[in-house]
A and B are shown apart, each in its own frame.
Chain A
Amino acid sequence: MIGWLLDALPLSYPDAVVVVGTAVVGFVAGALGPLAVLRQRSMFGDAMSHGTLAGVAVAFLVTGAKVPEVLLLGAAVSAALAAFAMIALERTGRLRPDAAIGVVLSVSLTLGIVLLTHIGASGNSQQAGLNGYLLGQAAGLVERDIVLALALGAVALTVVLVGFRLLRSATFDPGFTSVAGVPSWAVDAVATGLLALAVVLGVRTVGAILMVALLVAPVVAARQLTKRLSTLVPLSGALGAACGAVGGVVSGRAELPAGPVIVLLATVVAVLSVTFAPRRGIVAKARRRRARVAG
């Protein structure tokens, strides 16, 4: 299906698969990241991503095989459960949002690690590589993973494109959209669903622990470079794709886990942007302030 693309790249076939796969994941994460960052829901996304681990493990225990689609489905279900648990804890009014996130994040990570350890000790020869979901692994990607990521990513990006005006309005001023007739729970549900999708797609390559950084860092970098959300979303996606692609290849060559490499790259990009962005960067702002004082 995408063989022509893989052949067209001036890379060996395995490298081409990794580059395209991690680029797709990076693009989707970068483009959907604003739904977490601009809604001040980054840690919410982090807890969902930690939640995927238990789902991956349960899906493997139930089916006994490492079918990527099944594991992804498990990840999606448990990410949704984590989101639901956080919202329920908040709504009952017993816990503040940060406490609800903290509880769900640590409990679901613990559960995931216990289950993975149990699977690792079971001697099932199928299980090799499941640990990759912790810190991410780009080397194991196959063409089928890319097709799946492209399909789900296309669905998510279509939702963002079609609902752009509504998502922008609701994120900026939720009261306005609510009065206009769109209840905020509906927007929350869509945004949370899209975030869950980005997390689930990324968790295989970047890993459950670090996935949130790929949602956040490209947005932070892109935010410095534009004043419009319609520019920020594709720009953040492009930065995410670039970090994903480069990080994926480097980690493969250097035999390092993909997650940390990709995340370090994205962080460097974000720091550079925050420091040196033309208008909003720290340096530019300091220079303007000095000019004002001098003038």
Chain B
Amino acid sequence: MTTSTDSRTAAQPPSALSLREVSASYGGRTVLDGVSVEIPAATLCAVVGPNGAGKSTMVKAALGLVPSVRGHVELLGEPLRRVRRRVAYVPQQDSVAQDFPITAIQVVEMGRYPHRGWLRRLTRHDDELVAAAMDQVGVADLAEHPIDELSGGQRQRVFLARALAQGADLVILDEPFTAVDARTESALLEVLTTLCQNGRSVIAVHHDLRAVLDRFDHAVLLAGTVLAEGAPGDVLTPEHLERAYGMTPLVLNR
């Protein structure tokens, strides 16, 4: 189940994300060492692993956000430069400027910039997509609120609305559920699941193994290298977790 080759032969649409022998280092320290994954399209995929396993680095490497990356990366079957508009990124909350003067609707409007360019005005069509996206995640009434006065959950809803407004085929989220209340987490997972049912692909770095087992279609277990990839039930086995975490997290002892 740790192999990626057998899933590739069956897949008709290109994979959501394909990494082959990807390595990355930060300040001389190797964080990713020969990572190969093949995440199928139209699935809700979780990237899990202990702290320092390189989960964030893996998704950032896939998005060209890590300076020194070796290996081969394809998103939606293409190199990144050809699918920029079709890929949405929801970063970790602490890599977004805190105390920045911007309103919720202005954040969601960013989702239209890849389509409209940095100079042209947004069209009425863009405005409608922005409004619909905010409605879908339940933040329509917060449109004019400054982002730094929103709760963690509200803020994460706004960032997901940005990805929805972009109409992306692949949404990559880095720890989207940190500092988020349980109700929001459940609501956001609902939205993400619907996206996947409509043929879009979602990859999320996540900590909550219980939620991954219950709600995700696909999982990648990372610890510098890929320890396992496949259906969550096959990936999050006691043996694999023992190797990744050095112990079996209690939550999985059923």
Contact = CB atoms under 8 A, between A and B. Distances in A.
Partners in one complex: yes
Interface of B: 27-28, 60, 63-65, 80-81, 84, 87-89, 91, 95-97, 99-103, 106-107, 110, 113-114, 118-119, 146
Given A93-B28, A172-B96, A227-B146, A179 B101 contact: no
Contacts of A154: none
A180 B101 CA distance: 21
A172 B27 contact: no
B102 A175 contact: no
Contacts of B146: 227
Nearest to A40: B97
Given A179-B63, A181-B81, A171 B100 contact: yes
Interface stretch (A16-24, A162-170, A242-250): A162-170
A13 interface: no
A31 to B, nearest CB: 14
* Closest A-B pairs by Cβ, 9 of them: A227-B146, A166-B118, A175-B91, A93-B27, A179-B89, A180-B114, A229-B101, A172-B100, A181-B84
Contacts of A173: 91, 95-97, 110
A175 B110 contact: no
Interface in A136-176: 162-163, 165-166, 168-169, 171-176
A96 to B, nearest CB: 11
B101 A223 contact: yes
Contacts of A231: 101
Contacts of B107: 172
Nearest to B172: A179
Nearest to A222: B101
A169 B89 CA distance: 13
Contacts of A40: 97
A1 B63 CA distance: 51
